[in-house]
Structure 1
Amino acid sequence: MARTFAIVGTGVIGAGWAARALAHGLDVVAFDPAPGSEAKLRAAIDNAWPALEKQGLAEGADRKRLSFARTISDAVGRADFIQENAPEREELKQSLLAEIDAAAKPGAIIGSSTSGLLPSRLQAKMANPGRLVVGHPFNPVYLLPLVEVLGGKQTTPETVEAAKEFYTSIGMRALHVRVEIEGFIADRLMEALWREALWLVNDGVATTEEIDAAVVYGCGLRWSLMGTFLTFHLAGGEGGMRHMLHQFGPALKLPWTKLVAPELTEELIDRVADGCEHQAAGRPIKELERRRDDFLIEVMALAKKYWPEAEGLEGRI
């Protein structure tokens, strides 16, 4: 397993990767050509460290294990795993990844933090394209566990599996995106909500504060435990997702949204309902409801500490 982690690009995402890796006891070598980048990186890590200490540091975790290289070659030459965090410009990333590839030792894996560019295109100029994966994290990288992992057409299956193992070893939930698609999974979902939110603001329906309140005090609390599908699975009562889709499915065609819904065929209902039943793993609806409710009670109690405006929250949800 990787013991030396290289960061190329030390902005918000790169700094987050560095902090997470240091907190898990790795040696971190960073590179960024921007003036003052080393000082900014160290300040960002110092700012994140108290939260990481509360979360619990791994054996050997130490901010002194960070070094800053002056060239890409010096940064990646001895690294076991390399994470690229350049701006979202395809040609820039292609050239940078080719340079990283040429300097990296054999067997090193290269991950790109791109939030939507396809790995098959990012591999275009690499001499060893089989070792590239996308490892798309979420801000703050040092705390949020999700990382979307996908390979391009030339990525070897072994590379994908090794990348998943590495990300898991530093406390992440590696979500394998099996189909190469722009925007991957999580950002496509967030972008759908984001588009709706912008329409609501644009049309004068709600302010940004009101829209955020709708998420924070409503759907967001439930989503943080069981996501979208299981939330709606419970909305169907004892009939679960199948009943919910048959009862409320026609509303998907009402002109409430700026997005076009898919045709709700019986095949689609079967796929969604079967998937929810698999997620439920045989647990009855009432058990899932109790689990959800216990979670919400604890989250709302915690909310009072961090959201002064959340007093009396229990009675409003």
Structure 2
Amino acid sequence: MNRQLSVIGTGVIGNGWIARALARGWNVVAFDPAPGAESRTHAFIDNAWPSLERLGLADGAKPERLRFSDSLEAVVQGADLIQENVPERLELKHEVLAALDANAASGVIIGSSTSGFKPSDLQKNCPREPGRVIVAHPFNPVYLLPLVELVGGTATSARDMEQAQALYRELAMRPLVVRREIEGHIADRLMEALWREALHLVNDGVATTEEVDAAVVYGCGLRWSLMGTFLTFHLAGGEPGMRHMLEQFGPALKLPWTKLEAPELTDALIDRVVEGCEFQAAGRPVTELDRRRDAFLVELLDLVQRYWPEAEGLEGRI
């Protein structure tokens, strides 16, 4: 059966969804009224396709299975799954999701890539089938990283979520069903905490952007890519595991090491962060950095799978 993904909004995330679906052999119909959107999408796919080939393409996968539509009403026709990726403005999402709900065939899941909004807020202007409007939050680059956070709202049924999980698995993703609605979901809340602390370290002159990144790349990041936060700390307790780790290091959680509030984004801080990142990029264009990151991720995904094969069923235990 030829599946169709309908994509609304073709920025970095929307184009990531397009590339992933094409690589899995799906047909894709996209809509974006921005001038030049179609040419930017084709350039994005051209840049991503070599990494997708190394990762492994499904039978029939090819970029030519993409076409652009000229309206919200038309883009959803024939869709098996709809993915909304418009900017993070609630009023805009309400407008777009209402149109999608009004025009999509009955029972078709509408996933929003929102990184912060709760699904119950997104469902408010969708009287036809509000339960099918859910959060389906991926991670950049969407065409390589397999995690998608699925969050249902007050109108969402267990059947809606089961249908969504099955569809995203067909896109070779690992659905993580978030147990209850919360702004920022799970992964973004964790990343934001590290991001705030990193900004403080740069703002206070403790470290440069390059030094902060090195601390992650050569330290905690290497462990996190296999075990995550909790299992990493479980090992820190030796043979007794997490209980011993908490007994030994738990009191340190009360020490004022971290800062919960983000620093004010002054012009000086912005300049320091921007100049640091430009120094790290060393004049290389983003497309070149994308390809470098993608090549690394393809190898890393293979390595994680070899050392953590049972992760195939993790979403069923969450």
Shorter chain as normaliser: what TM range? 0.7 to 0.9
Contact 1:23 1:52 in 2 (8 A): yes
- The structural deviation recorded for 1:120 is 0.2
Which residue does 1:119 correspond to in 2?
119
Which runs of structure 2 are paired with 1:250-269 in the superposition (5 Å)?
Answer: 250-259=251-260
Higher RCO (C-alpha 8 Å, min separation 6): 2
1:19 alignment partner in structure 2: 19
Residue 290 of structure 1: aligned partner: none
Asked whether 1:227 is paired with 2:191, we answer no
Structure 2 matches for 1:239-254, cutoff 5 A? 239-254=240-255
Partner of 1:154: 155
Structure 1: how far apart are the matches of 2:15 and 2:216? 28
Distance (whole Å) between structure 1 residues aligned to residue 96 and residue 199 of structure 2: 34
**Is the CA contact 1:118–1:180 (under 8 Å) kept in the aligned structure 2?**
yes
1:228-307 to 2 correspondence within 5 Å? 228-259=229-260
Per the alignment, residue 185 of structure 2 pairs with 184
TM-score, reference length from structure 1: 0.81
Residue equivalent to 1:59:
59
Q: Which moved more, 1:6-15 or 1:160-169?
A: 160-169
CA drift of 1:259 comes to 3.2
The residue number in structure 1 matching 2:49 is: 49
> SS where residue 54 of structure 2 aligns?
helix
Counterpart secondary structure, 1:123: helix
Cα distance in 1, alignment partners of residues 234 and 92 from structure 2? 44
1:3 counterpart residue number: 3
Matches within 5 A, 1:54-133: 54-127=54-127, 128-133=129-134
Q: AA paired with 1:86?
A: V
Name the SS for the 1:133 alignment partner.
strand
Gaps of 5+ in 1: 261-297, 303-317
CA distance in 1, matches of 2:78, 2:157: 22
Deviations 1:134-188 (A, max 9, x none): 1000000000001000111011211111111111111111000011000000000
Alpha-carbon contact 2:150-2:177 (below 8 Å) kept? yes
Query: Which letter maps to 1:207?
Result: T
1:2 Cα deviation after fit = 7.4
Rounded Cα–Cα distance in structure 2 between residues aligned with 1:259 and 1:229: 20
Shift of 1:133: 1.1
Query: 1:212: which partner in 2?
Result: 213
The alignment's C-alpha RMSD in Å is: 1.5
Contact 1:2 1:80 in 2 (8 A): no
Q: Deviations over 1:275-311 (max 9, x none)?
A: xxxxxxxxxxxxxxxxxxxxxxx97xx9xxxxxxxxx
Percent of paired sites with the same residue: 68
Q: Distance in 2 between the 1:152 and 1:186 partners?
A: 18
Amino acid at match of 1:51: S
Residues 161 and 2 (structure 1), Cα distance of their counterparts in 2 relative to 1, 3 Å cut:
farther
Say which SS state the counterpart of residue 6 (structure 1) adopts: strand
Q: Which runs of 4+ in 1 moved over 6 A?
A: none
Match of 1:37 in 2: 37
Per the alignment, residue 146 of structure 2 pairs with 145
Give structure 2 stretches of 5+ with no counterpart: 262-298, 304-318
Quick one: distance in 2 between partners of 1:222 and 1:75? 42
TM-score, scaled to structure 2: 0.81
Q: Counterparts of 2:48 and 2:237 in 1: how far apart (Å)?
A: 41
Of 211-220 and 151-160, deviating more is 151-160
Instruction: Tell whether the 8 Å contact from 1:5 to 1:26 is kept in structure 2 after alignment.
Output: yes
